[in-house]
Structure 1
Amino acid sequence: MKMNKIAIALTSVFLFAVGQLSAQNIKSKDVVFKSKADSITIGATISSPEKAGKYPAIIIASGTGAQDRDGTMGGTKMFARIANYLTPKGYIVLRMDDRGVGKTTGEYRYATTADFALDVLGAVEFLKAEKNVDLNHIGLLGHSEGGAVISIAASKSKDVTFLVSLAGLASNGLESLFVQNENLVNNSPLPEVDKKRSNEINRLMFATAFQYATSDSLESKLNAVYNYWKQKDDSYFKTLGIEFDHFRFPIWSYVQYAIGPWYRYFVKYEPQLFLGNVDVPILAINGSKDVFVDPVNLDYWKQYSRSGQLGKVTTLLLPNVNHLLQPCKECTPSEYSKLGDIPDSTLDSIVKWLGQTVK
């Protein structure tokens, strides 16, 4: 028993020492720089190896919704975790606050995916002036909508030399809305009849938003289509013999969202217009249980990119893994906060690919 206690004590000391060593191998600094888009000032953190030298650099692009530089989602700090894992392996990582968050100015609601790509290009320009950055190896890592962001950015810059997609979007905007919402509805506890109604009205509204995305009449068209559907749906519900109708479509909030600049741009987004000009190595990783970015996106990274035609796309499908790259059981968004960080095995896959491709 005494020997076991001694072994445990020594193990604890060893782990503490390793933790200290890892911390000593990383230096971090907070910076600000300008977006390539407009007058936005972006706040960010750069994590670098402590040892002097030139290192490959990676810029992280976030997904939909205003996020802080650490990528605080579902009880995890996804981007801080990635930076702290990759930096001791010999990579510089820049992660930034989204518009209107932390030290970044502007308002998120007025920006589009294309604006976020220009923010990333501002980060590229900033890193080019950093003395420890290997200018021949600057890459982008995008999560969720960040996949579209890095696709746009890479198509506009010869300084970007590799891409990493983590559950990253490579489908067109309309298809992604169809698939994402049907996944969420079909995995919800709604009665089957309400799932059918929800999928029907969602598809109708999304298609209308797509058709009139560039029109001043979008708001009136959406309301008119909804009112037409509601009359038909009321008649349908009366045939079901159900006493109370609990199904509600949030028409006002949806319309206000859909007429904004982000939605108008996103619903018309066509990835091949950008990825067709991208010929750098790409690593694309998805979880098989991702209800937000369907795993079929792995195929699109190959199909739509010039990189795919050149055999430069590597894809990895992780079984029973969700949108935050967490191994899951129920695999619903409500489970995220119970599951912890991205596992080492997934991050090791990124490090291995980077070692083969970048260094």
Structure 2
Amino acid sequence: MSRVLLPLLAALASSLPATAAAQATTPSLSSPTASGQVAAAAPAAGTAPYAANTWHGSLLQRGREVPVGLNLRGNGAELWLPDQGIRGVPVPVVRNAAGTLTIRLDHWPGQPQLQLARSGEAAVLRGTFRQGGFSSPLTLWPGAVTLPPRPQEPRGPLPYRSQEVTVWGEGAVALRGTLTLPPGPGPFPAALLLSGSGPQDRDSTLHGHRPFLVLADWLTRRGFVVLRLDDRGTGASDGDLYSAHYRDLAGDVQAATTFLRRHDSVRPDAVGLIGHSEGGSLAALGAQALRPAPAFMVLLGSPAVPGRELLDLQLRTQLSAQGLSSAEIEARATLQAQALQNHRVGELQVPLPSSEIEQAWLYSRAFVRSPYLQDFLTYDPRPALQASQVPTLALLGARDLQVPPAAGAARMRELLQAPGSEVHELSGLNHLLQPARTGLPQEYAAIPTTLDPAALDLLGRWLQSTLAQR
């Protein structure tokens, strides 16, 4: 959940992606046990010496351990990087004459690669993990990877239907995702979920959390049809996010809204948009051309300032929370501004605190020059928010360090004037609307809660009240 979420500082950082918000095109072949461990794959008969082995380990990322798992099966494997949404994804295994294994996931941000060999001193695999510009030693031990507890994620059997769908976005780009429908014939109100910045999968996977999976489940159980899509070039969707302009992404919002309005189970007059972070900006932008207007908008941790201003505020807020001096903060803010202005990310010799640690693979000149980033930097969401006549709920965390209060709640109160609109700054919550101690992104994975229940209850009451007036 965007999602977000802003991966743009990480484009300037030189650290490992702890999660790349992307969705596997192939479903998981293994599933967690009740203890949170992933079940081992069944042995394959007559295969190489490494076959039928289940391995686990971790990478140290900014003071926390990022889990890695590998189920070897003959000439292939199932890769587990749960912080990135990689859960039992099939990958090929290449073995050289010396017995070294190379495992690479090509269709993934940064193309994660493991090179491993069995260590002679113990029953372990040792080698190197690489993703984007990051490289780190890696040791794997026998046994299954343990997934962090995520108590809000739905477990089957589910009391609603789920369908795989394709929406034809702007320029006839195929956007694929999941539609969940309450039991019964309907028609039902509907919500389109819009993820935060960077390549996000339909579940808005990051740091081992799947906020849109949780939100879609919560809404569908309360009588909403919910559509969530893989972003362009992510998961099962076609296209390329970074070559897209904001006008293309706004067109995608309009196409997905039209898809919902034409669905037999949906009330066409009760379709709304729910966006997290940048997704809220795109919701307001896309809504301008929708006729009729959406029934509602919900902005979760969304900014109310231009992207360039947001990145500066975000950087200063996070550095201050980490205890840096005013001089250090000013120096790094100047470096960031120069890199964005001159398209020269290579000038940054000191790591910046990443607003999206998982997106560090974006450390590239191509990204800084991309139409997507340039539109993000220059787009001002304020005119669309101020002109909107759509009832809008804005929920922002008081401990949000990615969209700080100066860029979010304080401005939203001035801009949202449509009848029925409300702005709430929620005490103790971070950018993902989790209960947080500091609000720093480094905390996200360690927090079991994916979405604060009180925030969800507030959302539910507002939706019920807003739709009752239609």
**TM-score, normalising length from structure 1?**
0.77
Partner of 1:99 in structure 2? 232
CA offset at residue 262 of structure 1? Answer: 1.2
Residue of structure 1 aligned with 2:405, choices 278, 295, 298:
295
2:171 is paired with a residue of what secondary structure? coil
Report the structure, 1 or 2, having the larger helix content. Answer: 1
Partner of 2:423 in structure 1? 315
CA offset at residue 192 of structure 1? Answer: 5.4
The structure-2 alpha-carbon separation of the partners of 1:146 and 1:139, relative to structure 1 and needing over 3 Å to count, comes to same
CA offset at residue 25 of structure 1? Answer: 3.0
Partner of 2:147 in structure 1? none
The structure-2 alpha-carbon separation of the partners of 1:101 and 1:310, relative to structure 1 and needing over 3 Å to count, comes to closer
1:358 is paired with a residue of what secondary structure? helix
Q: Is the 8 A contact 1:97 1:104 kept in 2?
A: yes
Q: Is the 8 A contact 2:241 2:372 kept in 1?
A: no
Partner of 1:355 in structure 2? 464
Q: Which amino acid aligns with 1:260?
A: S
Residue of structure 2 aligned with 1:173, choices 307, 317, 327:
307
1:56 is paired with a residue of what secondary structure? strand
Residue of structure 1 aligned with 2:178, choices 45, 69, 72:
45
CA offset at residue 303 of structure 1? Answer: 2.7
1:57 aligns with 2:185: no
Q: Which amino acid aligns with 2:378?
A: K
The equivalences for 1:107-256 within 5 A come to 107-159=240-292, 160-188=294-322, 190=324, 193-206=327-340, 209=341, 219=343, 247=350, 253=363, 256=366
Q: Structure 1: which 5+ residue stretches go unaligned?
A: 1-18, 210-217, 231-245
The CA deviation string for residues 242-271 of structure 1, in whole angstroms up to 9 with x for no partner, is: xxxx84689x95754332111211111111
Partner of 1:234 in structure 2? none
Q: Is the 8 A contact 1:43 1:103 kept in 2?
A: yes
Residue of structure 2 aligned with 1:326, choices 424, 434, 441:
434
1:262 aligns with 2:372: yes
Q: Is the 8 A contact 1:155 1:275 kept in 2?
A: no
Larger mean Cα displacement after TM superposition, 284-293 or 120-129: 120-129
The CA deviation string for residues 151-199 of structure 1, in whole angstroms up to 9 with x for no partner, is: 1011111241210011012222222121112122222365654333112
Q: Structure 2: which 5+ residue stretches go unaligned?
A: 1-153, 353-359
Output the CA distance in 1 between the equivalents of 2:431 and 2:418: 28
CA offset at residue 299 of structure 1? Answer: 3.4
Q: Is the 8 A contact 1:285 1:317 kept in 2?
A: yes
CA offset at residue 203 of structure 1? Answer: 3.9
Partner of 2:110 in structure 1? none
The CA deviation string for residues 64-94 of structure 1, in whole angstroms up to 9 with x for no partner, is: 1111101111211100100101111111111
The structure-2 alpha-carbon separation of the partners of 1:300 and 1:103, relative to structure 1 and needing over 3 Å to count, comes to same
The structure-2 alpha-carbon separation of the partners of 1:253 and 1:88, relative to structure 1 and needing over 3 Å to count, comes to closer
Q: Is the 8 A contact 1:142 1:165 kept in 2?
A: yes
Aligned-CA RMSD value:
2.6
CA offset at residue 320 of structure 1? Answer: 1.5
Residue of structure 2 aligned with 1:284, choices 388, 391, 394:
394
Partner of 1:15 in structure 2? none
Output the CA distance in 2 between the equivalents of 1:24 and 1:287: 30
Q: Which of 1 and 2 has higher RCO (CA within 8 Å, sep 6+)?
A: 2
Larger mean Cα displacement after TM superposition, 169-178 or 318-327: 169-178
Aligned pairs, how many? 304
The structure-2 alpha-carbon separation of the partners of 1:39 and 1:26, relative to structure 1 and needing over 3 Å to count, comes to same
1:72 is paired with a residue of what secondary structure? coil
Output the CA distance in 1 between the equivalents of 2:351 and 2:211: 34
Q: Which amino acid aligns with 1:174?
A: R
2:387 is paired with a residue of what secondary structure? coil
Q: Is the 8 A contact 1:25 1:51 kept in 2?
A: no
Q: Is the 8 A contact 2:320 2:329 kept in 1?
A: yes
**TM-score, normalising length from structure 2?**
0.60
The structure-2 alpha-carbon separation of the partners of 1:126 and 1:181, relative to structure 1 and needing over 3 Å to count, comes to same
Output the CA distance in 2 between the equivalents of 1:42 and 1:123: 9
CA offset at residue 105 of structure 1? Answer: 0.2
Output the CA distance in 2 between the equivalents of 1:253 and 1:357: 43
Output the CA distance in 2 between the equivalents of 1:49 and 1:93: 9
Q: Is the 8 A contact 2:281 2:303 kept in 1?
A: yes
1:273 aligns with 2:383: yes
Output the CA distance in 2 between the equivalents of 1:147 and 1:57: 17
The CA deviation string for residues 278-310 of structure 1, in whole angstroms up to 9 with x for no partner, is: 101000001011111122312333433xxx334
Q: Is the 8 A contact 2:275 2:299 kept in 1?
A: yes
Partner of 2:72 in structure 1? none
CA offset at residue 106 of structure 1? Answer: 0.9
Residue of structure 1 aligned with 2:445, choices 334, 337, 354:
337
Q: Which amino acid aligns with 1:315?
A: V
CA offset at residue 148 of structure 1? Answer: 0.8
Output the CA distance in 1 between the equivalents of 2:351 and 2:314: 19
The structure-2 alpha-carbon separation of the partners of 1:353 and 1:33, relative to structure 1 and needing over 3 Å to count, comes to same
Output the CA distance in 2 between the equivalents of 1:339 and 1:253: 27
The equivalences for 1:2-21 within 5 A come to none
CA offset at residue 205 of structure 1? Answer: 4.7
- Identity across matched positions, percent: 28
1:346 aligns with 2:455: yes
The structure-2 alpha-carbon separation of the partners of 1:330 and 1:39, relative to structure 1 and needing over 3 Å to count, comes to same
